[in-house]
Structure 1
């Protein structure tokens, strides 16, 4: 039977590369504009980096003046001279007053806490990025890879809708939605007019920015791991398996010398771990679209925990562990939420059972009275005067 006039057969449609390209472009456009992806992962990034930077500022609170304040060896004048060459800016160099610095430090603590809680996240995320950039630039020679990653992520999170889940903004939106459930009579306005179109455009723009921001975050992490692995391949110490031996014997990165000596005795194990580290980092960008990424992420988690303990770099390890959470799907975080609710509900039930008098559960039989309309009629008959 001949095909209808003007209709393309399946073979002809498959043979047209332009048509396939346009179809894929349309599908990609739909993914970017219709639904925000990885909302739970963005919330984890917000909470993780907010808590990490808040803990960092609290940890350095006794030394804040020597690191960022007017009493720092890297004076505000030297910082301004460097800014003229590099283009950096910092709110900490706007005044040399100690009172101004203390106000800035207190404001940084408050902003980090609000960002973690997700209060007015869209505006607070901009303030959080400004705080991280200002403290990073003020004492740039005392930073490491963890500080650089936190700075990049704070800027990227401005684009994302990281306050849609697990935040005060999400709680406020749920309360507002529950209040708006009551039906409203039409007011005679044109609901298909300009206000509705503006809301649709705003929602689409927010979705596009969020998806692009999460894509940039994923690309940044892939570049980080891939480049780190390729640089290690070029080094001779990583090729002969002795790199970790030299790392464990660096005096600057030995917070627990006895533990470093104990680990350094297992030379074969160190060589295997070194080769596995290079393999994981190089293969990381290529395993993200399959189930193999879960054991890879678990192995990277163990690697970063080892770096935090053996090398004394908790800020760097924490920043990398939080960044890896961007590759976990929302279903994973929803399952964790359901598990948490189940555990808390079981704990509450156990407390109620433990608080009841002994023998009460056996004396009181289970209540299986009437339900539905019969229960309503029974209540009315009891309360009837």
Structure 2
């Protein structure tokens, strides 16, 4: 998160009487409020969350396309009437239960695919983020008994991302803003002073509201991930199988979580590694909230990445693992994503240079005329 970096300039206390202890706490509170209302933090991380969850849900919908009727459609064993009866008890709602006709369901499914794609691309992100949250909530509520934990997290993140400015970078909205920047400057210079001042005040209020909502949304996302890891680790501590290092042994022998039985058998043969993985999993989850503000978070995030990849492969839970990996991206600072962007552009330019006929600077290649043949 970028909150610590945003507060750093404000921590410098001027020389004189203001250095006394009674003024330090108010100054820190004022610096925090200034950082909260003036500058949105972790904009690149929000963009990564938008792209990640939009792509993940799009792949999920496309993967389940052949089974869509059995899971969410009118032909599901959990019929729309049963779903409506459950909604009366739980207070949930779903667009899929408004009609039992098949054309309506197919239209909703197509709109869900299009909404996920547009959300991933960042087109009209403010409005599309609301539609994406409605789509995820509708599909989640329609088949609430066919979940694996991953769609629960996707639902929470979809709701939280509505508050964020996740379309500021790496989106079609950002590209359109860059193209319209010069036109906006020309229009503002030709307008009258009164109208310009009103637009300036309106823009300042809008930026303050956007910054507050975005920062609160990113804080809630980070707190949600910390709570998830911490509660999962404390829950494991209460069990005896995690304490004696045999929990993963039992997991690898569950038929429901053995997509690759041969691979599970190979992993089960290493008893010591299984015990170490059990203890390391509990340690990482319990200690995760306490390593976020230091450099230790980078190796911890790397080990968590390996853990989630192992869950996806050994237990066959790619949706859950993908949702957790994307959620962990909120703790990486914007300078990390900017360096990744620069590395990507540098790699793209090198690949362009290596193409046949490309010039060293990526421009049009110099084509020399062929010498005329003697017959000409």
Cα offset, 1:183, TM superposition: 8.3
Q: Secondary structure at the match of 2:194?
A: coil
1:155 partnered with 2:159: yes
Q: Secondary structure at the match of 1:140?
A: coil
Alignment correspondent of 2:371: none
Alignment correspondent of 2:20: 14
1:295 partnered with 2:299: yes
Cα offset, 1:65, TM superposition: 0.5
Cα offset, 1:185, TM superposition: 4.7
Distance 1:63 1:183, change over 3 A: closer
Instruction: Output aligned runs, 1:82-231, within 5 Å.
Output: 82-180=86-184, 182=186, 185-190=189-194, 193-231=197-235
CA offset digits 1:151-187 (Å, max 9, x no partner): 0000000000000000000000010114445586554
CA offset digits 1:298-350 (Å, max 9, x no partner): 00000000000000000000000000000011111111111111111111111
Alignment correspondent of 2:344: 340
**Native 8 Å contact 2:352 2:358 kept in 1:** no
Distance 1:9 1:218, change over 3 A: closer
The answer for unaligned runs of 5 or more in structure 2 is: 1-13, 369-376
Instruction: Output aligned runs, 1:209-358, within 5 Å.
Output: 209-352=213-356
Q: Secondary structure at the match of 1:143?
A: coil
Alignment coverage as a number of residue pairs: 349
Q: Secondary structure at the match of 2:355?
A: helix
Alignment correspondent of 1:64: 68
Q: Distance in 2 between matches of 1:119 and 1:11?
A: 52
Distance 1:134 1:184, change over 3 A: closer
Cα offset, 1:89, TM superposition: 0.2
Give the number of the structure whose alpha-carbon radius of gyration is greater.
1
Q: Secondary structure at the match of 1:142?
A: coil
Q: Secondary structure at the match of 2:193?
A: coil
Distance 1:201 1:354, change over 3 A: closer
Alignment correspondent of 1:4: none
Q: Distance in 2 between matches of 1:80 and 1:15?
A: 60
Alignment correspondent of 1:27: 31
Q: Distance in 1 between matches of 2:219 and 2:188?
A: 40
Q: Distance in 2 between matches of 1:103 and 1:316?
A: 27
TM-score norm. by structure 1 comes to 0.87
Alignment correspondent of 1:36: 40
TM-score norm. by structure 2 comes to 0.89
Cα offset, 1:229, TM superposition: 0.5
Q: Distance in 2 between matches of 1:183 and 1:70?
A: 53
Q: Distance in 1 between matches of 2:119 and 2:43?
A: 16
1:77 partnered with 2:77: no
Q: Distance in 2 between matches of 1:334 and 1:182?
A: 30
Distance 1:184 1:229, change over 3 A: closer
Cα offset, 1:265, TM superposition: 0.6
